Structure formats: structure tokens, C-alpha cells
Amino acid sequence: MNHSESDGLKAIGTTVQGCNIGWAAAMQLTTSLPNEVVETQLDRIIGSKQFCNAPRLSRFLRYVVEESLAGRTDRLKGYTIGLEVFDKPAGFDPQTDTIVRVQARALRQKLSQYYAQEGKDDPVHITIVKGSYQPSFFVSWDGEKPEDKAVVPPSLSSSKPSIAVLPFDDFSQAEGNGYFAHGLTEETIADLSRFRELSVFSRSTTEKAKLDNLSVPQIHQALGADFVLEGSVRIDAKMVDISINLIDASTDEIILTDRFHHAATPEAYYQMQDDMALQITARIIDRFGPLGPSARRAARLGQSQKWETFEWISRYHKYAVELSPAERQEIKAGLVGVLGNDSGSSDAHAALSLIFADEYRMAESLDGPDDLPTVAWDQAQIAVSCDPQNAIAHEALATAYFHRGDFGNFDSAAKQALHLNPGHGDMLARLGLCYGARANWSVALPLLDKAIALNPLHPGWYRVMKAIGLGMTRGPKEAVAELRVLPLPGAFFYHCHLLWFLVELGEMDAANREKARLLDILPDPEPVILRHNRAWRVDEAISSRAFAAWRKIGLFAGTGPKVQVGGG
């Protein structure tokens, strides 16, 4: 890389209280970097300490980058990668042999480690977007850099202690139990967030903290967490062992150590979860008085009766954060299969309902399946009937009502979900999206702010609806600033909404550049935008302003959309 290129590609990184929370806040996607610049960065990554002992992941990264630079993106598919990188035979089936998907996840994690450590000052970033094997290349903002100020998430209330639950380690001897550790982490967060006396950080934030190898004092400094929970799980054919350490983050002192040892049955597993949540919460908040009998979910109705059911539910929890279309289909089939023999599992019915809702709103064709909200509603009704105290079941029901256009029942079900679990960050964000789509900003914006506070390392989609709310209630300048806090290059909904507010600001050069990025992702974006607005029941007050801006920049030319774009 020559000096002029180095000067033009400044190293960036946004730090909050000593913790790197997202270099993407000052990055932009580029499709015009010289090949030699990308190749230099590729060699730098592969020669790093993170990759030098990972030859297969290095081979994987080199293959996808070189094929992309050569214009052969049609070869970046699971089958071809299996043959070229992992030496699979010609009969390789990527649907049944998941090695490419598993290693792609490992590669994304390894790249995150590199850029959090050795590559933190690199001017060029290479990423692989989830749900795809095609690399993206980023450089510093050029002409559209956000204001030079720290990106500070909304703070948690200082009146309540906060806890960060780190992902549980899987120490099972047999392979294939990793999903139980993911599920245990998610269920522990959900159990703890039921207590109004606690603030509980979301899993995507604590996963990032663990991936970046932050120490407990660093987590305390970066997130403001008062307590950190570390744990491990070991499963064999007969027994389940769970070990936990509860740590006072300000002093790095272990204040509770416990071990839970029970027979390997789903009933015993749920009992251990309840006991663990009560012990942790009681130790943290004894200064607030007794928790009372309502702390434990009475009778734990709607439990899964089979380990296979719990495995698919655990895999759903992992998918729900990553939003991988391929995994969505696999998990949907798995849940349908296990519910045939375990029909009383409230969590399984709720997860299946939410997957159907995701499938509906992520469809790109205007003539996509319109019966999915009803299918989702059927599953959610069963989930609630199996366990009326299950917050996720009520969230699923609220989501199904929303996509059916029944906003009165949506509001009732959403309020019940929030009553049962007022502190689950991801649920707050998902319900905040729905309220925002209906332009109910007095409810949506506080939900989104609380979700961001509970999940400082949140996925960028948390902020898109908040940006729309700021644009509708304050103005386009505030919306653009919010969207640029955590860009989502490659996500059409991010580009089309940033485009909207740039047009309203009169920044037409920047708007045309954003339009070019949108068309690079979706050469024919209009049907996708129409489907997106219809599925999300976007309020007319929002859609009328958005479509006016899009027409002004040359989208939806002529008379505009011929179909309903929102919901009545």
C-alpha cells in the first residue's frame, strides 16, 4: 500500500469507556478498492497470530476473497466451498453436512478477534456477512463521516444492580452439546430478567465481551456491569452438571460458587434453571428484601419433555440473534418434527411461531406467502395455552397479531409479555420495532432505548427504527446521525432509510451515493421495499414521507406504488 493510499484510509475505532464497541460506526462499504489493497490486507490477516495456526480458516478466507476479487461470486456457495476448501467429494450435500456453515461462523468469529486485537488499527476491514459467503470490504468514511463524538449508549438505571451473563462453556465429552450451552445462557438471561430489581445485559453484548477476551474488571469498566456470571455445563447420557461463579465486577471477587447436579431429564434441567436464577438473584438483591413466592414461575407449565426438543429450542435462541435464513429453515423443520412427539412444549411452539413471522416479513416477493401470520398465530395460541406465564409465548402472539393487522390484540399481548419479562433486551427491541412501524413513538422509543442500554453491543437493526422515530419526531438530521452510529452495509432496509433522510436534508450527492449502494445490493429494489412495508404494516404517516423522498431520487417513478404499503 503506498503512502497516499495509507493516508486516505485512516485507521478508525469507536471506544466507549475503554471498550471497542464497533469500528463499523465510522466505516463505509466500498466496491472500488484496488485489488492489491485488498490482497495486502488479506496477507496481513492470514499472517497474524489469530490465523497463523488456523490453516483451514485461512484457506477459507483466501478462497472467498480471491474469488470475489476475480468476479466469480457465483462460486461462493456452500457446495463449491465444500469441494474447493474442505476437499469434499462431488456427492457432497451442504444441507446434510454443515461443515461450511459451521466453519463460516468460526471464520467470522476469528475475523472479529483479529480486528479487536492485532488488526484494531488496520485501515481496511474484510468481513463476511451472516447468511452469505461473500466478503465485504470497508474503509473509513469519505465525505460522509459522522460527527466526531463518542457513541454512548443509553445508560442503565443506577438504582438497580446490573448483571452480565457470559456464555456458558460446554465441557461435555461428547460433541454436539454446544447448543445446550447456548440455550442455558439464553434461558438464564430470560430467568434473571424477570426480576424487576435487576438489569440484565443481552446475550449479544456478553457474547462479544467473551469473544474479545475481556476480563471481569474490563467488563465492569466497559459496560458498567455490577456483577458477572460465569458458568459451565457438562452433559452425558445420565447426568447434567452446571457450575456457576457469581463475581462482584467492581472488585473481581467471587461472591457465590455453586454446582447443580441432576439426572439428564428436561424436568430436572428446568428445576436447575429456577434454582440457579433464585440463588443468583437473592444474593444480588437481598438489600431489596425478599423476592416473594411469585419469583419462581408457578408449576413451570409447558415444559419440553424431550432433550431433542430442548436442543432445537436452544438452536433457535442462537438463530434469533444471527438471523441466518439457512438456519431458519433447518430449525423450523426440526421444531415441526419434535412437536409431533412433544406437543406440550410452550417454548417450542413460541419459537416456531416467531420463525413463521420472520419468514413472512423477510420475503422479497410481492406475491409471497400471505398465510404465514395466521400459521404463526396458530402456533402462538398453542404456546400460550401450554404456559400462560411464558413471556416469549405472549411475544409470539403479539407478533402474529401485529402481522395480521389486529393492533388492539397486539397491544394487549405485548403488554402481557413485557409484564412477565420486563428486562429482556431482545424482546424489548423486537416489540419496539412493531410499535415504531405503527408510529407509536411514545411507546417505541423508550422500548428501543432500554433495549440498547441492556445490549450496548447490539446488532445494528436496533437503531434503524429508532432513527425513523427521530426523523418523524425531530427531523432528518437526527435520523441520519442515528443511522450512522452503527451502519449496516449490505442491508437494503438500512440503505433505503438512510437514502430517505439524506434526500430530506437536501444532501443529494450523498443520497445518490446511497442509492448506488442500494442498487448494487438490489438492482430492482421497488418490489422488495413494497413487500417490506406491507409485511411490517408501516403507518401511512411514515410511508408517505418515505415514498415522497424515494420518488424524488428516482425510485418509484410515475404514479408510485400500486399496492397498500402499510396497514390500517
| pLDDT tens-digit series, residues 362-402 | 876 656 667 899 999 999 999 999 988 888 999 999 999 99
Q: What is the pLDDT of residue 26?
A: 39
- DSSP track, 419-439: HH-TT-HHHHHHHHHHHHHTT
pLDDT tens-digit series, residues 53-101: 788 899 999 999 998 888 888 788 889 999 999 988 988 888 788 888 8
More confident residue, 34 or 147: 34
How many Cβ atoms from other residues are within 10 Å of residue 148's Cβ?
6
Domain with CATH 3.40.50.10610 in the chain: 162-289
Q: Which of 493, 313, 498 is nearest to 390 (CA)?
A: 313
CA 394 to CA 416: how far, in whole Å?
Answer: 7
pLDDT tens-digit series, residues 244-280: 888 888 888 887 787 877 776 766 666 666 666 666 6
Q: What is the pLDDT of residue 424?
A: 83
How many Cβ atoms from other residues are within 10 Å of residue 543's Cβ?
21
Q: Which of 479, 496, 492 is nearest to 555 (CA)?
A: 496
Query: Which ranges in 241-324 belong to alpha helices (H)?
Result: 266-285, 307-322
Q: Which 8-state DSSP code applies to residue 563? A: S
pLDDT at residue 404 greater than cutoff 60: yes
Average per-residue pLDDT for the chain: 78
Q: Which of 463, 552, 561, 468 is nearest to 512 (CA)?
A: 552
CATH class of 162-289: alpha beta
C-alpha cell at 254: 467471587
Q: What is the pLDDT of residue 119?
A: 83
Question: For residue 568, what are the CA distances in angstroms to 408, 539, 541?
Answer: 12, 8, 11
Burial of residue 511 (CB within 10 Å: 0-12, 13-18, 19+) is buried
